[in-house]
Structure 1
Amino acid sequence: MSEEILINVTPRETRVAMVENGMLQEVVIERTRKRGIVSNIYKGRVCRVLPGMQAAFVDIGLERAAFLHASDILPPPIAGDSKEEWKINELLYEGQNLLVQVIKDPLGTKGARLTTQISIPSRYVVLIPYSANTIGVSTRIEKEDERRRLKEIVLRHMGMVEQGVIDNQNDRETFATRPAENSTGTNIRPCLNYGFIIRTAAEGVSEEMLCADMDFLCRLWQEILEKSSESKPCSRVYEDFSLVIRTIRDLMGGSIEKVRIDSRETYREVISFAEKFIPHIVPLIEHYPGERPIFDLYNIEDEINRALARKVPLKSGGYLVIDQTEAMTTIDVNTGAFVGTRNLEETIFKTNLEAAQAIARQLRLRNLGGIIILDFIDMIDAEHKRQVLKTLEKCLEKDHTKSHIIASEVSSLGLVQMTRKRTRESLEHVLCETCPTCQGRSSVKTAETVCYEIFREILREARQFENQEFLVLASQDVVDMMIDEESNSVAELETFIQRSIRFQVETSYTQEQFDIVLLR
């Protein structure tokens, strides 16, 4: 599989596109004015504790207070390894200052989500400073010998010895460790009394590079602690790397063949970062000086515009209908013009198979998160249902964002329930806003409906005021209908109220807008 990363940089906006086999799979947009804050670390101040919700609101200097749940708070040191569930008012109090990290950007009317369980990623490892003496290994590193080699490197560099496996959850396997002691009984490396997670990118990496990554993170954490002690409450003490550097750090794997950047300044920045942390990928990074915009190379601008549409055509003639709401996203599959060549069940099966692949791509491309309901066309054959679900699961494996199919089967109604982690605003929310005409309803009142509303309003005002004439200001379509199809109704109304009615087109009015002016 051929993969390329295209990076378009302008003074106010950076866009990163991931292209697989010539087709856009993912696009991330970061604007200077609305840069995401996930992974940033703040010195926050608790402004409200909510025992009923087991949560607290924390002021970190943003427009809205951020949300911190009890499950995201480190237990007090005296708790040790206790599994007891702590109450929020036993952990926090109003006015308390604490170091917190953002794990979810503000979305819509909701503030940012926080945690005190801080983690700082680098290229090959993640530092978890408050999880002392534990090591995690990504389960995506499947070779047992390699897992053992990497874990032993980290153990040696920390001066630790393994006690045994204690946990196995999500995407890592965690080991308990204890400090190795020298002949005097003191810790060999007390300054590295932290925890680490070995990332997938560390597979095959040399001991020197892995240890350098660990040392870099430890130095960075000490700087954060020093800055935190000097900073005022409600201020930022650490900001994550820019979108471009995060992309190079996180997405550069064995299948990436090329990274093209259209900004010479950003290219130099990336080269400098890569030479220091990921030297083997330097030959893959190139500056794109072409006059043709870099996103035009693969029609990415057109793909982005299509990703904002509600309807997604399939090659077979079928189509998807994607609707985003506050609570969930629904994706409906339709056969459309596809009639097939054999029978109806075969037609439905082929459409659903194609739809499963398209859905996985659209989830990445649009960055849809939260609860997602997939409404496949009803299938009778149980084997067809199994194959459609298997195809969906296989396509979702390529997604860098974690997703989960809730029930491992297609329901009798053809529904599949799944979730996808919300990492940032969806593409639609980044690029669009609520329609000022329909206010997000996806429809507007017809010209006929507005005409009848005007009639009722004129009757209402005729009963209240002693004017001689009415002037109706409305859109072109409404006025045209009034003086054409509804002309008899207008004449009858004038006779009934014994006053004349005039019309004037206001080009700036939407179809639903109108005003009635009283004339003497």
Structure 2
Amino acid sequence: MTHPTAAKTARDPAAGERGRRLILVNTEAPEEHRVALVEAGRLEAFDVETPAQVQLRGNIYKGRIANVEPSLRAAFVEMGLERHGYLPFQDIHPDYLGNPENGRPVHELLSRGQEVLVQVVKEPTHLKGAAVTTYLSIPGRFLVLMPGTAHVGVSRRIEDEAERRRLKEILAGAALPEGTGLIARTASAGVPKREILKDGKYLLRLWRAIRQKAQKAKVPALVHRERDLITRFLRDHLDADVQEILVDQRATFDAVRGFLRVIAPRQARAVRLYQESEPLFSRFHLEHQIEQIYQPRVELPSGGFLVIEPTEALVAVDVNSGRNVQGKDLEETALVTNLEAADEAARQLRLRDLGGLVVIDFIDMKGRANRARVERRLREGLRKDRARTDVGRISRFGLLEMVRQKIRAPLELGTYRPCPTCRGRGLVRSVETLALVYLRRIRSRLAGMKPGEVTRVALEVPGAVAGYLLNRKRAELLRLEEAFGVQVEVTGSAALGPEEHRLELR
């Protein structure tokens, strides 16, 4: 018997292709949970959680100062994680500094072993620990509570002045403890006063519970864990325009509907249990779009494409016209491609969560008005992004620099690992180069030996390299044997990677 909440899905199989705004929740595999926001069949937001990539951002820890580094203008906090948290001096609340005397520097007001309550604001990487702050913020559906910061404000994304005034009046009338602030989130626009204040009361109760737990906890300790993937996604992306929420597992369906009955009772009716035989994400043509998130090349509608290359220093985005010949001349072709690239670049930065410095190399355009159009299009695309951005202008070289806030670790970190063959470089040495490297290595090792100390050299290399040495470099091998009075044996092994070898001197 089909569950009543699944009936609409079964009758409306192409729901995601007709301009509808949907949230899809895929939890059929316990190793990987995925959630997506789809608009008119296009992937607009996506998140995934695996055992290797559990989000720490938003967690609150009771830690202790492990070290103070005046040269870095930062302290390091022991939090019970693999690496200490990085706490910049400017993110230390005055309450932790006592009463500064005569402008004493911050590092003199902190002491090792001092207890602090910190929140993760940037995920740790394979090179760095998590970035943390003592200025806490606790997000709800409509509001963000900021204990210790007496500030009341409204999201900059709410541009209507009348609505901004209404929200400020609501927040000004909220009963808040001294020194506590509130920010109205974008989702609060048009929401009745009663619902907004209800969210504020919930956040105050949550903060009291966190504070009580922190007082009792022994350092280091996790005192508040950010909500799970699905709850976070619903909190951040669910709005009145979402018409349906499809979930492919019964237990998750019950949890989502129960959560929405508390925070958004009207939208709890939009939750549907997906029971078709075709996988949920495949049914809505998302798998290919998700695969593109992990690829450097992204196709554009007109035949052009982007190449997105994250590096340690910055994210480089190169725009190419490819097969695009739609324009009447080079300038129009460049403009069409660049406008599409601006839309897609904003979307890909959001989906991949690439942050820091971003440099986009647009196709050169002579017209200043055309460059301005592309800049406006990029800014419009970035309005959908929850991360803060700061966008520059297109230079005379066609480069646009922008900065995007890092919200989480890039998606690929949890689902990809460095290639063991190329060690993450993306390239391996040629057979010819490797053959020369091994010949030089043998000569170098033998040159450091006493005459007669070594009589036999055994070199095991990949089959292609062995074949090259034995067929194309046989004369060099003979010269080595004669020069050092040794026997050189070269064998190929299918078990070795392209750049692996074994060298024994006997």
Q: Is the 8 A contact 1:402 1:421 kept in 2?
A: yes
C-alpha change, 1:455 and 1:150, in structure 2 (3 Å) is closer
| Greater shift in the superposed pair: 141-150 or 272-281 | 141-150
2:62 is aligned with 1:43: yes
What is the match of residue 505 of structure 1? 492
What is the match of residue 430 of structure 1? 414
Q: Deviations over 1:363-384 (max 9, x none)?
A: 1222111111111122222222
2:169 is aligned with 1:152: yes
C-alpha change, 1:338 and 1:63, in structure 2 (3 Å) is same
Deviation at 1:309, TM superposition (A): 2.0
SS at match of 1:291: coil
C-alpha change, 1:487 and 1:296, in structure 2 (3 Å) is farther
Question: 1:85 & 1:297 partners in 2: Cα distance?
Answer: 63
Q: How does 1:138-287 map to 2 (within 5 A)?
A: 138-158=155-175, 194-287=180-273
What is the match of residue 184 of structure 1? none
| Greater shift in the superposed pair: 256-265 or 418-427 | 256-265
Q: Is the 8 A contact 1:70 1:87 kept in 2?
A: no
Question: 1:86 & 1:35 partners in 2: Cα distance?
Answer: 40
Q: Deviations over 1:240-274 (max 9, x none)?
A: 11111111111112332222112211111111111
Deviation at 1:219, TM superposition (A): 1.4
Question: 2:475 & 2:97 partners in 1: Cα distance?
Answer: 84
Name the % identity: 36
2:436 is aligned with 1:457: no
- In angstroms, what is the RMSD of aligned CA positions? 2.7
Question: 1:472 & 1:284 partners in 2: Cα distance?
Answer: 66
SS at match of 1:46: strand
SS at match of 1:434: coil
Deviation at 1:75, TM superposition (A): 1.9
Q: 1:439 aligns with which of 403, 407, 423?
A: 423
Q: 1:366 aligns with which of 352, 355, 360?
A: 352
Deviation at 1:494, TM superposition (A): 5.4
What is the match of residue 74 of structure 2? 55
2:127 is aligned with 1:113: no
What is the match of residue 94 of structure 1? 112
| Greater shift in the superposed pair: 101-110 or 242-251 | 101-110
SS at match of 1:34: coil
C-alpha change, 1:410 and 1:469, in structure 2 (3 Å) is same
What is the match of residue 187 of structure 1? none
Deviation at 1:500, TM superposition (A): 5.0
Q: Counterpart amino acid of 1:127?
A: L
Question: Structure 2 length normalisation: TM-score?
Answer: 0.87
Q: Deviations over 1:319-362 (max 9, x none)?
A: 22221111111111222343455322332222222222221121
Question: 2:285 & 2:471 partners in 1: Cα distance?
Answer: 46
Q: Deviations over 1:433-483 (max 9, x none)?
A: 222222232211100001112222333345436455543311122123234
C-alpha change, 1:222 and 1:64, in structure 2 (3 Å) is same
C-alpha change, 1:476 and 1:91, in structure 2 (3 Å) is same
Question: 1:259 & 1:86 partners in 2: Cα distance?
Answer: 55
Q: 2:33 aligns with which of 6, 9, 14?
A: 14
| Greater shift in the superposed pair: 290-299 or 65-74 | 290-299
Q: Deviations over 1:56-88 (max 9, x none)?
A: 1111111111111122122249999x9x98732
Question: 1:207 & 1:300 partners in 2: Cα distance?
Answer: 37
Q: 2:468 aligns with which of 481, 485, 491?
A: 481
Question: 2:191 & 2:338 partners in 1: Cα distance?
Answer: 41
Question: 2:60 & 2:495 partners in 1: Cα distance?
Answer: 46
What is the match of residue 44 of structure 2? 25
Question: Unaligned regions of 5+ residues in structure 2, if any?
Answer: 1-18
Q: Deviations over 1:158-188 (max 9, x none)?
A: 2xxxxxxxxxxxxxxxxxxxxxxxxxxxxxx
Q: Counterpart amino acid of 2:263?
A: F
Q: Counterpart amino acid of 2:458?
A: L
2:87 is aligned with 1:68: yes
Q: Is the 8 A contact 1:66 1:111 kept in 2?
A: yes
SS at match of 1:256: coil
Question: 2:156 & 2:441 partners in 1: Cα distance?
Answer: 67
SS at match of 1:245: helix
SS at match of 2:332: helix
Question: 2:148 & 2:287 partners in 1: Cα distance?
Answer: 44
C-alpha change, 1:199 and 1:457, in structure 2 (3 Å) is closer
Q: 2:280 aligns with which of 294, 299, 305?
A: 294
SS at match of 1:57: strand
C-alpha change, 1:510 and 1:214, in structure 2 (3 Å) is same
2:146 is aligned with 1:124: no
Q: Is the 8 A contact 1:202 1:210 kept in 2?
A: yes
C-alpha change, 1:477 and 1:209, in structure 2 (3 Å) is same
After superposing on structure 2, the runs of 4+ consecutive aligned residues of structure 1 that deviate more than 6 Å are: 77-80
| Greater shift in the superposed pair: 354-363 or 466-475 | 466-475
Deviation at 1:140, TM superposition (A): 3.0
Q: Is the 8 A contact 1:23 1:298 kept in 2?
A: no
Q: Counterpart amino acid of 1:513?
A: E
Question: Structure 1 length normalisation: TM-score?
Answer: 0.85
Deviation at 1:499, TM superposition (A): 5.3
Question: 2:158 & 2:333 partners in 1: Cα distance?
Answer: 40
Deviation at 1:400, TM superposition (A): 2.4
Q: Is the 8 A contact 2:98 2:109 kept in 1?
A: no
Question: Unaligned regions of 5+ residues in structure 1, if any?
Answer: 159-189
